[in-house]
Amino acid sequence: MCNLSNQTVKRLFIFVLIYLPLQYAIVGIVGLKSSEPWPAFVFPGFKSVYVYGDSYQLNDFVFAVEINDNRLMREFTPRQFFYEIPNSQLAGFVRTNLESAEDSIAFDSSTRKWFHERGDELLAATARNIYYIHRRRYMTRLDGELKTDSVTVIKRLNIAEVAD
Amino acid sequence: MKSNWFDRWIFESYQPTVQGLALFRIFASLLILFFLMPDATYYFDLASFPDDFFTPPPGPMMFFDSFPPAWVFFLIHGLLALSWICILFGYKTQIASIAAAIFMLILLGFIFSIGKVNHQMLIIILPLLMAFSNWGGAYSLDAHLSGKRAKANGWTLTLLALFIGFMMFTAGFPKILGGWLDIDTFATKGHLLNQYFVRGRTELLSGYMVSMNLPWMWGMLDWATVIFETGFLIAVLRAGWTRLFVSFAVFFHFSTMLTLNIAFLVNFPAYAVFLPWGKIHESISSLIDSKAKPHTIPIIFGGALFGLFGIIKIIDKMNPYMPVKEPSFDELVLISAAVLVVIILSVKKVIDLISSVKPRSIDTL
């Protein structure tokens, strides 16, 4: 068993006391430029505020899969579409991989194929176009109940385009 | 030479016993092996995802350009499990503890390369720091083979408290900047609604809380969260304060589990270090005649925990009560048990305080 001397332990504490705030500053800067670095000694901030008085703002993400035969759409939540990904990682996964994408070219052919296969599996039929939709829902409390005021589409992206 | 405040804080804040740390070692190993190993069934999914989904966070995982094959995940998982088994039996404890931290770091690095980092660093820091605590100094194969008497290093607990305190601060500080203390906004409620309506976390008390329209309560919860998270950093200065804030943390996670359905069991092994393991050891010793057979204590303690955790795990897998994944049955039981332990210890502390005050008041009379 390697036991550290008291002097080494004191130096280690001084290093940690300097390192922790320094790495936090770096996490902040890198996080602003791209995403949160890892490994880092931080906990989640959850700093966003979505409630102002009696008005609430929610962000909905859905995957609309077009059925090849009749061109009808079926919507799936991220939890349904990416059922294997843990719920704790889903929102971040969607934000990183889909919210940042500009168009379907952002995904290579193997990824588009994967989306199609997933669409086929969920529909139990052949999927055509698959859309990623980000909606913002505004809710108000009326007579003690939460009611949706309005819905705005923030983003609609065809992630597995099929040529007509 | 007289030691200064800094020295006393590092070396004298905590005075664990080597036997107490050994019991904690057995507890933490079993807790992690039973409940906190990454989900191995996920490895096949990760390995089969298209390369586009490999979006590593800034850091060492950027050296890779895709998820490794499933066998690599299983190999690292196996080595991680082996490291924790070695820690459990106290075999090559220091090396095994460092190895457990490294293997968990690699495994989580790949898992978080899906585009979302979960904040599970405490499960990496814990074995890394405890490697230097001498938690393998008693009730272990190491102690049996070397025959030497080891001394527990309390500074590792001070350092762990510092990490927890700082990390809690990093959760609280952005909330201040983000407007959590604004009396016209209700951030906690916003997150509750987001979890409930968007992420489908609708179990336990979440529905009841969504319907609750008490502005003063939501405002108070915002303030309490910020005070608790930022205050933890100050609490690190004294062992008693740290224990108090760890108790708050247990209640905090319990309440977020009930309302937001987010159970953060992964932090609990690190919180559990601050339990009075020395006293727990004394209590067990007084019940068992361990002088004849010194290994009776770890065998009974480890065996009881093994049986208890095994039963919880079996019920969790059979899933008769909780058809939902979040929180799972084992998270619900273990976090509730932690709350119960904190309540029992708090009551005991209050009784001790009252009994220590009583004789003095009689003297005064």
Give the DSSP per-residue string, chain A: --PPPHHHHHHHHHHHHHHHHHHHHHHHHHHHHSS--SS-S---------EETTEEEEEEEEEEEEETTT--EEEE-HHHHTTTS-HHHHHHHHIIIIIT--SGGGS-HHHHHHHHHHHHHHHTS-EEEEEEEEEEEEEEEETTEEEEEEEEEEEEEESS----
Tell which of B114, B132, B153 closes a domain: B153
Kindly state whether residues A75 and A144 are assigned to the same domain. yes
Which of B59, B168, B193 is opposite residue A38, by nearest beta carbon? B59
Q: pLDDT tens across B105-136, in order? A: 999 999 999 999 999 999 999 999 999 999 99
Kindly state whether residues B294 and B210 are assigned to the same domain. yes
Q: pLDDT tens across B9-49, in order? A: 999 999 999 999 999 999 999 999 999 999 999 999 999 99
The reply to whether B333 falls in a domain is yes
Kindly state whether residues B63 and B182 are assigned to the same domain. no
- Given a contact cutoff of 8 angstroms between Cβ atoms, the answer to whether B55 and A96 are in contact is yes
Kindly state whether residues B188 and B323 are assigned to the same domain. yes
Kindly state whether residues B291 and B351 are assigned to the same domain. yes
Tell which of B105, B123, B153 closes a domain: B153
Nearest C-alpha in B relative to A104: B52
Which of A 89-108 lie inside 8 A of B, CB atoms? 89-93, 95-97, 106-108
- Given a contact cutoff of 8 angstroms between Cβ atoms, the answer to whether A24 and A42 are in contact is yes
The reply to whether B132 falls in a domain is yes
The whole-number pLDDT of residue B324 equals 61
Kindly state whether residues B197 and B246 are assigned to the same domain. yes
Kindly state whether residues A95 and A57 are assigned to the same domain. yes
Residue A68: give the domain boundaries.
Answer: 51-158
Kindly state whether residues A115 and A82 are assigned to the same domain. yes
Kindly state whether residues B141 and B244 are assigned to the same domain. no
Task: Say which DSSP state B33 is in.
Answer: I
The reply to whether A164 falls in a domain is no
Which of B 309-328 lie inside 8 A of A, CB atoms? 325-326
The reply to whether B77 falls in a domain is yes
Kindly state whether residues B161 and B270 are assigned to the same domain. yes
Kindly state whether residues B142 and B178 are assigned to the same domain. no
Average pLDDT for B39-64: 95
Nearest C-alpha in A relative to B8: A10
ipTM, two decimals, is 0.93
Which of B 136-195 lie inside 8 A of A, CB atoms? 136-137, 142, 150, 153, 155, 158-159, 162-163, 166-168, 170-171, 173-175, 177-180, 182, 184-187, 189-191, 193-194
Average pLDDT for B339-356: 94
The reply to whether B116 falls in a domain is yes
> How do the pLDDT tens digits run along chain A, 164 residues long?
678 999 999 999 999 999 999 999 999 999 988 889 999 999 998 877 777 777 788 888 999 999 988 889 999 999 999 999 998 899 899 988 988 877 667 788 999 999 999 999 999 999 999 999 999 988 887 777 778 889 999 999 999 877 66
Q: pLDDT tens across B154-211, in order? A: 999 999 999 999 999 999 999 999 999 998 888 999 899 888 888 888 889 999 998 8
- Given a contact cutoff of 8 angstroms between Cβ atoms, the answer to whether B271 and B246 are in contact is yes
The whole-number pLDDT of residue B197 equals 85
A87 in B contact zone (CB under 8 Å): yes
- Given a contact cutoff of 8 angstroms between Cβ atoms, the answer to whether B165 and B274 are in contact is no
Kindly state whether residues B303 and B204 are assigned to the same domain. yes
The reply to whether B12 falls in a domain is no
Indicate whether this model's pTM tops 0.95: no
Å from A141 to nearest chain B CA? 9
Q: pLDDT tens across B242-262, in order? A: 999 999 999 999 999 999 999
- pLDDT band at residue B321 under the 50/70/90 scheme: low
Interface test with B, best of A47, A83, A108, A134 (most B CBs within 10 A): A47
A7 in B contact zone (CB under 8 Å): no
The reply to whether B9 falls in a domain is no
- CB-CB under 8 Å, B325 with A87: yes
- pLDDT band at residue B149 under the 50/70/90 scheme: confident
The reply to whether A143 falls in a domain is yes
Nearest C-alpha in A relative to B173: A45
Tell which of B126, B153, B180 closes a domain: B153
Kindly state whether residues A151 and A121 are assigned to the same domain. yes
Kindly state whether residues A34 and A57 are assigned to the same domain. no
B292 vs B190: which has the higher pLDDT: B190
The torsion of the CA quartet B17, B19, B20, B24, rounded to 10 degrees, works out to 130
Which of A13, A51, A56 is opposite residue B159, by nearest beta carbon? A13
Share of chain B above pLDDT 70, in %: 95
Which of B 44-73 lie inside 8 A of A, CB atoms? 45, 49-53, 55-61
Nearest C-alpha in B relative to A41: B167
- CB-CB under 8 Å, A35 with B58: yes
The whole-number pLDDT of residue B64 equals 96
Tokens coding B252: 């905090």
State which H helix or E strand residue B58 sits in.
none
Kindly state whether residues A94 and A130 are assigned to the same domain. yes
Nearest C-alpha in B relative to A52: B185
- Given a contact cutoff of 8 angstroms between Cβ atoms, the answer to whether A134 and A59 are in contact is yes
A107 vs B359: which has the higher pLDDT: A107
* Number of domains comprising chain A: 2
* Number of domains comprising chain B: 2
Which of B50, B191, B197 is opposite residue A46, by nearest beta carbon? B191
The reply to whether A15 falls in a domain is yes
- CA B184 – CA B328 distance, rounded (Å): 35
- CB-CB under 8 Å, A20 with B163: yes
The whole-number pLDDT of residue B147 equals 82
Kindly state whether residues A34 and A59 are assigned to the same domain. no
- Given a contact cutoff of 8 angstroms between Cβ atoms, the answer to whether B245 and B231 are in contact is yes
- pLDDT band at residue B80 under the 50/70/90 scheme: very high
Kindly state whether residues A61 and A1 are assigned to the same domain. no
The whole-number pLDDT of residue B322 equals 61
The whole-number pLDDT of residue A154 equals 93
Kindly state whether residues A17 and A73 are assigned to the same domain. no
B98 in A contact zone (CB under 8 Å): no
The whole-number pLDDT of residue B132 equals 97
First to last CA, chain A: 69
Kindly state whether residues A78 and A97 are assigned to the same domain. yes
Residue B144: give the domain boundaries.
Answer: 19-153
- CB-CB under 8 Å, B119 with A44: yes
- CA B205 – CA B269 distance, rounded (Å): 25
